[in-house]
Structure 1
């Protein structure tokens, strides 16, 4: 992994990039950390695992985190999305396939990126993901007692989250990693994300029964679970994360169900 600094919107964003050796057609795994004191540092082993499977790998510290400049209270969901887009557009070959992985708050960012990049997104990995009401997207995070906190603490505000619409529309590979104990993300949010992903995606739920909400730290410290997660995300993709030829629909439906119809696109 090679560190570098990328300037965007008056901020200096600390980032890392790794060439997995899969060649120019290989997918790039973009791995995004969560909120609070999170940073890309705990993601490095996961980036290395994607590299071992032939993927390029990219991660950044959002402004106000890790080695990046800026104040966390001035950041927002929109700024996180814009910083990720700027970095992807600068470092990933145009039209190169993307594997998007997000932890906690970055579940929202992954959904935003999925809507933005469309068919370029070959696979998703969502780990204890959060989604938020649309009205929260532009609001600065503040210090925990401002408008953003008021919006996200409103009971049921997440139910109309645009992120759920983006995940329902997604038809690629998707893995939802669910910790056994999550004191941050309500179970009903996790189930709503699962329902959205089962609408069209080739979906797998990966249970981590001994993990808590900090799934990134868990995968850092548990190599076998880390390998299982990456293998699941890249399942049904070719070498280097290249989208493989789709199998017959009948081979993709859950056990005990049948394919009613199919049509070429």
Structure 2
């Protein structure tokens, strides 16, 4: 089911996959990364989560896919506003949330977790990034790139504190070698998530940063992530 919502001054393209069989009272929200990514990139994982009883919500952030807007005018703050609005509109209020974020959406998942708190039952982080607090409000063409390229600036990310306090299921899936995310970021995320969460760390030796593409040709690994997210 595809639709468009008026959100944050934009027209946000989004979709819902209904659960196969009996609904389990869970909504999985899949968030794509930056660049040319859109909600189609994690279609395989979305289908598998629906088969496991989840309602699945996807969206194109502004400037991506079928949504309006310019990518250069997007920011981490706007990503949070857009994702929150779509979740509040399309996810039943009584559903638990399974938040899945790739690359840049590693930060957006943390921001959503900070908002929805105990309603979040599980996290799926796919080659995730995190960003410093001072980058959060900056549009991508208004100083964002300069801030995040400052050496070790990511260590000031609020995401690390939020993840360290999480007590639900958490899956961190990464390639053995990531050409985008520094190894120190992955190490910090492992340390944060291992503190209190029911944590699984998956490393795929032959994957690249773009795990959505990898899952298309590796259905077993994609199913493994889906099973872990739903607690199968």
Counting only pairs closer than 5 Å after superposition, residues 152-167 of structure 1 correspond to structure 2 as 152-167=148-163
Q: SS state of the match for residue 124, structure 2?
A: strand
- Asked whether the 8 Å contact 2:23–2:54 carries over to 1, the reply is no
Deviations 1:166-200 (A, max 9, x none): 10111100000011220000000011011110111
Whose radius of gyration is greater, 1 or 2?
1
Deviations 1:99-128 (A, max 9, x none): 000000000000001111001000000011
Select the structure that is richer in helix: 2
List structure 1 runs of 4+ shifted beyond 6 angstroms.
none
Counting only pairs closer than 5 Å after superposition, residues 77-226 of structure 1 correspond to structure 2 as 77-142=76-141, 146-226=142-222
Gaps of 5+ in 2: none
CA displacement at 1:25 relative to structure 2: 5.0
The TM-score with structure 2 as length reference comes to 0.97
Deviations 1:210-238 (A, max 9, x none): 001111111133211110111122226xx
CA displacement at 1:160 relative to structure 2: 1.5
Distance 1:25 1:213 in 2: 31
Distance 1:232 1:21 in 2: 18
CA displacement at 1:22 relative to structure 2: 5.7
Find 1:231's aligned residue among 211, 227, 231: 227
CA gap 1:83/1:22 in 2 versus in 1, 3 angstroms: farther
CA gap 1:66/1:4 in 2 versus in 1, 3 angstroms: same
Gaps of 5+ in 1: 237-265
RMSD: 1.2
Distance 1:61 1:228 in 2: 25
Q: SS state of the match for residue 67, structure 1?
A: coil
Number of aligned positions between the proteins: 232
